[in-house]
Amino acid sequence: MATIRDQARSWAETNWDPEMTVAQWWECLFEARYCLPSLPVEAFGRGYSRQEENESRLGLRDAGTLGPAVGISMMMAAPTIAAHGTPEQIERYIPPMLTGQESWCQLFSEPGAGSDLAGLQTSAARDGDVWTISGQKVWTSLAAGTEYGMLIARSDRDKPKHSGITWFAFPMRQAGVDVRPLVEMTGQAFFNEVFIDDAVVGHDAVIGSVDDGWRVANTTLMHERAGLAGAGVMLPFAKAGRDSPDLDKPAGSFAYYRFKTRGLGSGNAGPNKAKRLPAAVWYHQISAELGLDTAERLDSRMRLYISEEVNRMLGLRARHSAVPAVGSLGKLAMSEIARMRREVGNQSIGAAGMLAGADADAGPGKGDVQRRTLHSPAPAIYGGTDQVQRNIIGERFLGLPKEPAPPPDTPFKDLPAN
**For residue 275, what pLDDT band results from cuts at 50, 70 and 90?**
very low
So what's the pLDDT on residue 277?
66
| Top-confidence residue, 209 or 416 | 209
Asked if residue 30 lies in contact with residue 73, where contact means CB atoms within 8 angstroms, the answer is: no
**For residue 211, what pLDDT band results from cuts at 50, 70 and 90?**
very high
Catalytic residue (choose from 52, 102, 110, 224): 224
Rg of the Cα atoms in the chain: 22
Residue 143 has pLDDT above 80, yes or no: yes
So what's the pLDDT on residue 262?
33
Average pLDDT value for residue range 6-27: 96
Is residue 296 part of the annotated active site? The answer reads no
Give me the percent of the chain exceeding a pLDDT of 70. Answer: 91
Which stretches of 293-416 are DSSP H helices?
295-320, 326-349, 357-362, 368-375, 386-392
Q: Residue 163's CB: how many other CB atoms inside 10 A?
A: 19
Asked if residue 331 lies in contact with residue 225, where contact means CB atoms within 8 angstroms, the answer is: yes
Asked if residue 98 lies in contact with residue 23, where contact means CB atoms within 8 angstroms, the answer is: no
What pairing do the DSSP bridges indicate for beta strands 104-107 and 148-154? parallel
Average pLDDT value for residue range 394-410: 88
So what's the pLDDT on residue 319?
63
So what's the pLDDT on residue 318?
64
Cα–Cα dist 299/302, whole Å:
5
Cα–Cα dist 377/386, whole Å:
11
So what's the pLDDT on residue 20?
95
Mean pLDDT of the chain: 88
**For residue 270, what pLDDT band results from cuts at 50, 70 and 90?**
very low
Helices 295-320 and 213-229, axial angle in degrees (round to 10): 140
**For residue 283, what pLDDT band results from cuts at 50, 70 and 90?**
confident
Residue 260 has pLDDT above 70, yes or no: no
So what's the pLDDT on residue 269?
36
Cα–Cα dist 258/44, whole Å:
27
So what's the pLDDT on residue 25?
97
Residue 113 has pLDDT above 80, yes or no: yes
So what's the pLDDT on residue 396?
85
Residue 230 has pLDDT above 70, yes or no: no
Residue 240 has pLDDT above 60, yes or no: yes
**For residue 321, what pLDDT band results from cuts at 50, 70 and 90?**
low
Average pLDDT value for residue range 314-336: 77
